[in-house]
Amino acid sequence: MELAGLEVRKLERCTSTNAVLLAEGKPGVLLVAQEQTAGRGRRGKRWYSAPGAGVTFSLSAEIAKPEAGLSVLAGVAAARALRALGARQVALKWPNDLLVEGAKLGGILVETRGRLAVFGFGINCRSDATLERRLKRPIAALDQFIAVEGSRVIECVAASLLEALAALRASGLEPLMREWEQMDAHAGQRLRVRLADGRVLSGLARGLDRDGGLRLETSQGLRAVYGGRILMRKKAA
């Protein structure tokens, strides 16, 4: 696997590809791991993936300044790539999940340290009923929709991310946010979102605000949410 401008490295096993690249502090590295012993999602949650059942990788990049909305950018890049590979059902769940018809296909974790941004991806490639039973929620995998090698998935997502970063530098976040909204799995639906402080907010999903926060139309008007997770959804009447 070769990508112009990137140093590509592969490990049989590591704690977390994001943690390794953050510790190194070097931009322009694509790190792929066959197995992560301490894979992470948002807020320190564990990322579960059986060895060989999916791809886990991270890409480090230099950014001009800490940017709001980097998860939006990463989501658009991943969804673009997977749709181009033939998985046209892929949609985005705020703030960092890849879905297919409500089932989780993958997750994204973006972490920054100064001008270094590390974009971590975990994408299910092979169906795993054991994992679905363990997590007690629907899980999707690429082999349900397309036949593609994991290395090709990594290559396409990484290339798409580099393109999205170039677009960010050239045109800002706005065009990427509008593209994210076109792939929003919950557009127009009634959501319940648990906020960072534990409170639950309900409202209709109305896209993103200028900094990548989720806009909810509540009984008190539009509200932007920057930290939280969607608990459930119901279609609006």
Predicted pLDDT at 37: 81
Predicted pLDDT at 237: 41
Residues 139 and 217 in one domain: no
Q: Is residue 26 part of a domain?
A: yes
Residues 210 and 166 in one domain: no
Residues 156 and 230 in one domain: no
Predicted pLDDT at 41: 55
Structure token digits, residue 237: 């009447």
> Taking the model in full, what pTM does it have?
0.90
Rounded percentage of the chain residues whose pLDDT exceeds 70: 92
Rounded percentage of the chain residues whose pLDDT exceeds 90: 72
- Sorted by sequence, the CB contacts under 8 Å of residue 196 that are 6+ apart come out as 227, 228
Residues 165 and 209 in one domain: no
Q: What is the pLDDT of residues 55-110, one digit of tens each?
A: 999 999 999 876 778 999 999 999 999 999 999 999 999 988 999 999 999 999 99
Q: What is the pLDDT of residues 202-223, one digit of tens each?
A: 999 999 998 899 999 999 999 9
Q: Is residue 1 part of a domain?
A: no
Q: Is residue 171 part of a domain?
A: yes
CATH number at residue 229: 2.30.30.100
| Domain tally, the chain | 2
Residue among 155, 157, 116, 120 nearest 24 (CA): 116
- The sign of the dihedral angle between the CA atoms of 62, 150, 20, 42 is positive
Residues 178 and 194 in one domain: no
Residues 75 and 108 in one domain: yes
Residues 38 and 94 in one domain: yes
Picking from 147, 164, 182, the residue at the C-terminal end of a domain is 182
Res 128 pLDDT > 90: no
Helix (H) or strand (E) holding 194: strand 190-195
| Residue 51, preceding peptide bond in cis (omega within 30° of 0) | no
Q: Is residue 208 part of a domain?
A: yes
Predicted pLDDT at 40: 62
Res 227 pLDDT > 90: no
Q: What average pLDDT does the segment 27-49 reach?
A: 75
Predicted pLDDT at 234: 46
Predicted pLDDT at 49: 59
CATH number at residue 75: 3.30.930.10
Predicted pLDDT at 38: 72
pLDDT mean across residues, the chain: 89
Residues 108 and 208 in one domain: no
Residues 45 and 63 in one domain: yes
Higher-scoring residue by pLDDT: 135, 113:
113
Residues 215 and 173 in one domain: no
Residues 196 and 117 in one domain: no
Residues recorded for the chain: 237
Picking from 165, 182, 199, the residue at the C-terminal end of a domain is 182
Which residues span the domain enclosing 213? 190-234
Q: Is residue 161 part of a domain?
A: yes
Res 36 pLDDT > 70: yes
DSSP 54-122: EEEEEEEEE-SS--TTHHHHHHHHHHHHHHHTT-TTEEEETTTEEEETTEEEEEEEEEEETTEEEEEEE
Q: What is the pLDDT of residues 157-206, one digit of tens each?
A: 999 999 999 999 999 999 999 999 999 999 999 999 999 889 999 999 99
